Structure 1
Amino acid sequence: MRIGYFLSCEEYTPAQLIEQARLAQDAGFQGLWISDHYHPWNDAQGQSPFVWSVIGALSQVVTIPVTTAVTCPIQRIHPAVVAQAAATSAVLHDGRFVLGVGTGEALNEHITGERWPSAGERLEMLEEAVDVMRKLWDGGFVNHRGPHFAVEHAQVYTLPPAPPPVYMSAFGPKALDLAGRIADGYILTTPDKELVDGFRAAGGGDKPVQGGFKASWAPSEREGVEIAHRLWANAGVPGELSQVLPSPKHFEQASELVTPERTAKAIACGPDPAKQASYLKRYEAAGFDEVYVANVGPHYAELIDLYRKEFL
């Protein structure tokens, strides 16, 4: 199982993200995830730089693969524009770029003032969006009029030698079926073997499966839990709330119901490498090919160094 590092745009400035990427590559991490948000989950996280600018900057400091985890190409940004952004990113990274896609969260996508579609409609939109992007990556002018998107005389001129792979995040049965049918790989943030097997059975076969989790390095486990609960209690918000709540304030309200004990179960807290190893083993046992760890809080250099010494 390959181990990568997860860059959280919700919590760090562009300069900090670039620093983490450089440190991660030097430590031996084998790839990067990067989140694509308009808003952070809460005001305490406090950041949300435009991911495509950061990806461009990353191309100048790292040579390991970069995957968006994940981009929603159905509302905030038209898929024809995402296709251009992903193609340029693939050129800048010499083909080491993967476009991770999903149906998104109202938190980021509602900002254009359009209604937030149902989960089933968003899946239909995502399927059409991926089709539009792949047509544009094939070259030439594209005209498209579908149930959700229109493209008129569009051509992406800056193209990589091969189209960017498209990995898809999916949870429910309909989403798994779609991912197995249209995606080049699968993205998941829980070590759920049943979902991994479902993707493979739905047509995913031996396509790559990527996972990710959060860690909160601190001098003690107690301090790690305190940092994680202050910044990422939203990780314990259950069910479909993460897809429908529209603002950081709403997530702050929902997170009041999350206890520190629940946060401690959701995030690997403290300095003990055995805690990190236990999380890695869960993903390995569930059949993941790659796993990406994100730091929570100010001690990202210490977490990266721990991985350099213990796992990389």
Structure 2
Amino acid sequence: MSRYGYTLMTEQSGPRELVRYAAGAEKAGFDFAVMSDHYFPWLATQGHAPYAWSTLGAVSQVTSRIDLMTYVTCPIMRYHPAVVAQKAATVQLLSDGRFTLGIGAGENLNEHVVGRGWPPVNTRHEMLGEAIDIITRLLGGDDVTYRGRHFNVDSARLWDRPDGGVPIATAVSGEQSIRLFAPKSDAMIAVEPTAELAETWDAVSGRTADRKIGQLPICWDRDRDKAIARAHDQFRWFAGGWKVNAELPGPAGFAGATQFVRPEDVADNIPCGPDTDAIVEAVSAFADAGFTDVAVVQIGDESQLDFLSYAESELLPALRG
């Protein structure tokens, strides 16, 4: 049976609002909540980028049942992996074991701020592999001194650490990244409902029971035209695909790259409007591809409370039915 999640999207909401939406998502009956970890929004019209980890700490205290997860944190530039391990351990303690550390190789949009340049994808994958090794050892209770190609660690230790550790879910996009990260991870993250991803993960990891976690943008509204307009205004960047989205350096770049994307183009790729069946069909594509968990992204800060009420009364019963 699939598990359904709600996305706390830091690019479109402030920290106090995100905490309120997390409590609402638990009340609505979502199984888990994922939080993005950004320094910039994709487009200036989204208008937000609070610090995910402070917000997660607050979310852990206004919820008691719903699982929590980063979707995703990049532990290779903005954050040193030893610091990510400390943050993950702390959130796991605050949430009484409800947290999964979701990580990935990141986007230039967020990582360029530290002024180290933006390495090519193969280098980013090497860095992510080293980061996972460091994080895993620290979460396992080791005293870590490490000398790698990309990272050094000098006599690090986590003094407040959950006994059960922290599961690590890693974002992948194809066979190469799966072969690198499945042996080091507890779960898979991907944004395309492709059966080959899940099948390859199972084959490489040797574990068919791993969580496979997808994410899907939607723009629910009782008024379909209003939903399409909002999705075009705030989410047309999604049309670029992740190979493009990982490289652009800021909201102005995304605005320029998507200036010719039309509202109807967005509506062709993102379920917009009041049609519950269309949302269920889009979500079901992930289950059909072997994913165990799907988190929806409701587009637009101003629509969240109405969406959570709709999810409780209509969408989640339809998905589970």
TM-score normalised by the chain length of structure 2? 0.94
Cα pair distance change 1:97/1:204, threshold 3 Å: farther
Whole-Å Cα distance in 1 between the matches of residues 282 and 241 of structure 2? 20
* Equivalent of 2:128 in 126, 129, 132: 126
Q: Over aligned residue pairs, what C-alpha RMSD do you find?
A: 1.3
Contact 1:179–1:199 (8 Å) recurs in 2 = no
Answer yes or no: is the 8 Å Cα contact 2:69–2:100 preserved in 1.
Answer: yes
Map of 1:161 onto structure 2: 163
Counterpart for residue 11 of structure 2: 10
User: Percent of pairs identical after alignment?
Assistant: 37
1:189 equivalent in alignment to 2:191: yes
Q: 1:287 — aligned with what?
A: 290
Q: Which runs of 4+ in 1 moved over 6 A?
A: none
Equivalent residue, structure 1, for 2:212? 209
What's the offset of the Cα at 1:295? 1.0
The letter for the 2-side match of 1:22 is A
**What is the match of residue 103 of structure 1?**
105
Map of 1:67-78 to 2, 5 A cutoff? 67-78=69-80
Aligned length: 312
Matched, 1:299 2:303: yes
* 2:172 aligned partner: 170
SS at match of 2:177: helix
**Partner residue of 1:141 out of 140, 143, 150:** 143
Partner of 1:47: 48
Judge conservation of contact 1:168–1:187 (CA < 8 Å) in 2: yes
8 Å contact kept, 1:34–1:67: yes
Identify the match of residue 260 of structure 1 among 260, 263, 268: 263
CA shift, 1:239, in A, is: 5.3
Deviation at 1:136, TM superposition (A): 1.1
Q: Counterpart of 1:32 in 2: which secondary structure? A: strand
Per-residue CA distance 1:17-64 (angstroms, 9 max, x = gap): 111111110011010010011111011000000000000000111121
Gapped runs of 5+ residues in structure 1?
A: none
- Structure 1 residues 197-249: Cα deviation after superposition (integer angstroms, max 9, x where no partner): 22222226321101111111222211111000001110111351111101111
- CA distance in 1: counterparts of 2:294 and 2:11, whole angstroms: 20
Q: Does 1:248 align with 2:251?
A: yes
Q: Distance in 2 between matches of 1:308 and 1:204?
A: 37
Q: Secondary structure at the match of 1:24?
A: helix
2:83 is aligned, of 81, 94, 105, to: 81
Amino acid at match of 1:55: L
| Structure 2 residue ranges without an equivalent (≥5) | none
3-state SS in 1 of match to 2:284? helix
Please name the residue that 1:35 is paired with: 36
CA distance in 2, matches of 1:210, 1:265: 23
How far apart are the structure 1 equivalents of 2:272 and 2:85? 38
8 Å CA contact 1:23, 1:304 repeated in 2: yes
| Counterparts of 2:293 and 2:118, CA distance in 1 | 32
Whichever residue aligns with residue 223 of structure 1, its letter is K
- Aligned position for 2:232: 229
